[in-house]
Amino acid sequence: MKRITIEDIARECNVSKSTVSRVLNNSPHVKSSTRKKVLEVMKKYNYTPNILARGLIAKKIGALGVIVSDITNPFHSLLVRGIGDICRTYGYSLFLCNTDGRVDEEIKHVRSLIQRSVDGIIFASIKLKDEGLEEAKKSGIPILLVGRLPEKEEGFNYVIVDNELGGYMAVNYLISLGHRKIAYLSGPWDTWPNIRRFEGYKRALEEAGLSIDKKYIFKGDFTLDTAYSIGTKILMMRDRPTSVFCANDMSAIGLLEACMELGVKVPEEMSIIGFDDIPLSSFRTIQLTTVSQSIYDQGALAGKILLEKLQNEDNTPTQLTLPPKLIIRKTCAPPKEV
């Protein structure tokens, strides 16, 4: 099934390729009668230009690449949905890359994206020190970071929410409810979101004149299962905290499950607050109080900014920090024994 080309339709119209190309690109220098004719024939043959040929010249193909660790993660799928929707409205396609958090995979993906001449790359699961990011940067391809930042963020485009502030708000809320024994269930430790959220946790405690108690700091990894097993430990410790700020919603839900399993009533006997506000958190059976990242919007905004930048050939970095939102649902209450 041979695809018809610009040449075919030129022949049929008794004009040159150039003319056809002109109408294709809305050049004003075409007699309206010939333009009309060309358009007709194009329609007749159901012609669509070959983007590869175009791309070979333009050195781009009207596509973005997005790199996430795992699209199965609700955070990422929402983010990617936001990015994808914007791409669609701009007429761009989207390459999806899952890295599973592995550097080698990420690098492979970056290279493949560069080879394919994507117009830009959105990194959603950057590490503090990220080789894939370095490689992409070297190539000169436009980059935008969403959701998290690397160690050295200078010069990059990014849109994030203020994670430190989010952590601060979460813990402050707990404090305002009367909690004094506030634990922190972390994410992977050397990770931007974890560090920022922990900073917020510490600041809130400090400002309230509360000391940071090491025994209330628990190392998790953002997964439900880990949070569940750590959760059971937390619940069984002597002098257990009355509340836990979980570094993300999945962890919070894991802890919630542990509470159910052990018959600990939430929020009466244990207050739990998460971070992210993934769709699952608003389920009737969960109703997690959390700090919202407006994930979809963050993705859409990220896409929009990068795409605008591409169209305007704007090379100045735009760095956007969005405010987090406290979403109060049903997993927090004043502590029982004050």
Partner DNA sequence: CTGAAAGCGCTAACAT
Partner DNA sequence: ATGTTAGCGCTTTCAG
Q: Could you give the C-alpha distances from 156 to 80, 129, 320, in angstroms and in order? A: 20, 14, 11
Q: C-alpha 40: how far from its chain's center? A: 43
With CB under 5 to 8 Å by kind, the binding choice for 177 among its own copies, DNA, none is none
Phi, psi of 171 (to 5 degrees): -70, -35
Nearer to its own copies, 97 or 195 (CB): 97
Closest CB 34 distance from DNA, rounded Å: 4
Indicate whether 139 belongs to the interface with DNA (CB under 7 A).
no
User: 247-266: which residues touch its own copies (CB under 8 A)?
Assistant: 253, 256-257, 260-261
Indicate whether 29 belongs to the interface with DNA (CB under 7 A).
yes
Both structure tokens of 247: 């570094």
In this structure, are residues 110 and 136 in contact, taking their beta carbons and an 8 Å threshold?
yes
Quick note: the x/- pattern for DNA over 59-78, rule CB under 7 A, is x-------------------
Closest CB 152 distance from DNA, rounded Å: 31
With CB under 5 to 8 Å by kind, the binding choice for 44 among DNA, its own copies, none is none
Stretch that binds its own copies, among 93-101, 166-174, 176-184, 200-208 (CB under 8 A): 93-101
CB-hemisphere CA count at 13 Å for 333?
11
Residues binding DNA (CB under 7 A) = 2-3, 5-7, 14-19, 21-22, 24-25, 27-35, 49-50, 53-54, 56-59
Residues binding its own copies (CB under 8 A) = 1, 3, 48-53, 55-56, 59, 61, 63, 70-72, 74, 77-78, 80-81, 84-85, 88, 91, 93-98, 105, 108-109, 111-117, 139-140, 224, 228, 253, 256-257, 260-261, 279-280, 283-286
